[in-house]
Amino acid sequence: MSGFTLVELVIVVGVIGLLATIMVPSYLNYLNAAKRTSCICNLVLIERSKDQFMVDSGGVTSTVPTWVDILPYIKNGADSLYCPAAPLSLRTYSNCYRINQAGTDPVCLMRPVQDGLPAHSLRFRPR
């Protein structure tokens, strides 16, 4: 007879379980870091679009541009401009980001500084 004994199968299942226990938290950290990076890239895009609008319109720094003002400066439009951490029902640019006035960074409304978790902001610096 050839085949595997019960002890061999239990050892293999135990090793797979141990590897999964080590791998899952690392994978979740990787996903959160990727979402944060994508959101920060969107914030940079919003900031650059806001700056371009202010230069083109000769605006004053106290002016608060609207989405209508800066969307023409965003290359692919607003279709992909949402925070990946947002629930599916809130994945629109206006639900995810606040533009703020000129000279002030845009803000992600999905992950502000709270709960001890790294925020999605232009000021975030990983350790």
* Domain presence at residue 119: no
Residue 17 pLDDT level (bands cut at 50, 70, 90): very high
The domain in which residue 54 lies consists of 8-108
Please tell me the distance from the alpha carbon of residue 102 to that of residue 45, in angstroms, as a whole number.
14
* Domain presence at residue 90: yes
Give the residue with greater pLDDT, 21 vs 2. Answer: 21
* The model's pTM: 0.75
- Tell me the sheet residues that pair with 97: 108
* Domain presence at residue 38: yes
- Cα four-point dihedral sign 79, 84, 89, 94: negative
Reported as a single tens digit per residue, the pLDDT across 32-87 is 888 888 888 888 899 898 889 888 888 766 678 888 888 888 887 777 788 888 88
* Domain presence at residue 2: no
* Domain presence at residue 122: no
